[in-house]
Structure 1
Amino acid sequence: MRRRPLLALPALLLAAPAGAQPSRPLSDRDRADIARAEAWLNRLGSLKARFVQIAQNGASAEGTGWIVRPGKMRFEYDPPEPLLLVASHGQFFYFDRQLRQATTLPLGATPLGMLLRDDLKLSGDITIGRVERGGGLLRLTLFRTGRPAEGSLTLVFSDNPIELKQWAVVDAQGQETRVSLFQTEFGGRFPAMLFDFNDPRFREELGIP
C-alpha cells in the first residue's frame, strides 16, 4: 500500500470546521435504524480489529485497534507509520515516534469520543443529519447539536446483522478520511496497561514493549 507521513493529528480522530451540516427530516424507518445502531453500540463492551485508514488523496496506513467501552481506545499503526493513539482517563494521547512528540487532547474534543461514552445516545447533544442505506450498509452521519461547524462523523454499519464496519471524518476542506475495520473480534479482555499512556519515549528507552 502507498504510505505517507500522516497529518500531525490523524483524521480518524479530528473533524476540523467543515461548515453547516445538511439535515433531512427523519422517517419512522430512519428512527428505527438509529435505535438499532444505538442499541448495538451500547451493547459493545470491547473489540479488537485490524484497520485500514485511507485519505481522499489515496494515501493509506494500516494498524491494529482496540476499543473498550466506556472511555478506552488504542490505535497502533504498522511500521513505517510512527503513530500511536491511546484514549483513557478522559483524554486522547497521540505520540509520533519518529518526531518523538506527544500531544494530549480532551476526549470530548474528538468525534470518536462520542462512541466511547458510557451511555451513548444518538440524540440530544448529538444530531443525526443523514441516514442512508444501500449495498447492505447503513450510514449515519452525525454532528454535535448546535455545533455543526466542528465537522461530522459518518458511521457505517452492515445492515443485517448490524455491526460497525467503518467510519469517516470530513476536514475543513471537505476532504474525507475513512477508517475500515476487518478481522474484528468482540468481547475480548485486554491488559489494562494497553490503555496506559506512560510516555512511549521512556518506555522505549527502558526496553518495555
Structure 2
Amino acid sequence: RFEYAPPDLTLVLASAGQVAIFDGKSNTSAEQYPLSKTPLNLILAPKVDLSRAKMVVGHSEQNGVTVVTAQDPQHPELGTLQLAFSANPVTLKQWTVTDEAGGQTTVVLGPLTTGKRYPMDTFSINAQIGKNAKREK
C-alpha cells in the first residue's frame, strides 16, 4: 500500500497478484494491472531473488546512497526498478519504476514505523473498492 502525500490523493495497492491505482480525485474505478506485468513484481513477487542471472542491470554509489537497477530478464520490455539504499544501517529510501513507455514513478519512503498492526483489509484491493463505493453514495 502506497499513499501519496497530500494534496495528491492517489493510492496504489498490490494484492492477490494485481496492482490497483485509485485516483482519489476521480469517481472512476481503480485501474488494475497484473502484478507480473509490472516492474514491481521484482520486489513484490512471492519469491524475490535479485541475484537471479541478469536481473541486476546497474549499480552505482554516490554520497552514501547505493542505487541498484533491476529488471526481469525474461521480460525487459516491462521496464526497470531502481532501489536506492542509504548506508549504516542499510535502509531502503526510495524506488523508481520506469514502465515500458519510459514513464517514471518515484516513491520516497518517509520514517519507518515498526510494531504497528493494521487490519488486513488495509491491503485489500476489493475492500478499498468497497470503501470507495460507499463513499460515493
TM-score by length of 1: 0.55
Aligned to 1:191: 119
Distance 1:144 1:186, change over 3 A: same
Aligned to 2:96: 168
Aligned to 1:178: 106
1:202 aligns to 2:129 (yes or no): no
Unaligned runs of 5+ in 2: none
CA shift digits 1:115-167 (9 cap, x unpaired): 12333111337611111122111111111103222221110111222110111
What letter corresponds to residue 95 of structure 1 in structure 2?
F
Distance 1:205 1:171, change over 3 A: closer
Q: How many equivalent pairs are there?
A: 133
Q: Which has the higher contact order (CA 8 A, sep 6+)?
A: 1
Distance 1:136 1:80, change over 3 A: closer
2:71 aligned to which of 143, 146, 150: 143
What letter corresponds to residue 75 of structure 1 in structure 2?
F
3-state SS in 1 of match to 2:112: strand
3-state SS in 1 of match to 2:110: strand
Unaligned runs of 5+ in 1: 1-73
- After TM superposition, give the deviation of residue 171 of structure 1 in Å: 4.6
Distance 1:160 1:185, change over 3 A: same
- After TM superposition, give the deviation of residue 105 of structure 1 in Å: 1.2
Root-mean-square deviation over aligned CA pairs: 2.4
Distance 1:185 1:204, change over 3 A: same
User: Is the strand fraction higher in 1 or 2?
Assistant: 1
TM-score by length of 2: 0.80
1:127 aligned to which of 55, 58, 64: 55
Distance 1:173 1:86, change over 3 A: closer
- Trace 1:26-37 onto structure 2 (pairs within 5 A): none
1:80 aligns to 2:14 (yes or no): no
Given that 1:125 and 1:144 are in contact with CA atoms closer than 8 Å, whether structure 2 keeps it comes out as no
What letter corresponds to residue 21 of structure 2 in structure 1?
Y
1:103 aligns to 2:31 (yes or no): yes
Distance 1:172 1:113, change over 3 A: closer
3-state SS in 2 of match to 1:92: strand
Distance 1:159 1:172, change over 3 A: same
User: How many angstroms apart in 2 are the aligned matches of 1:103 and 1:177?
Assistant: 16
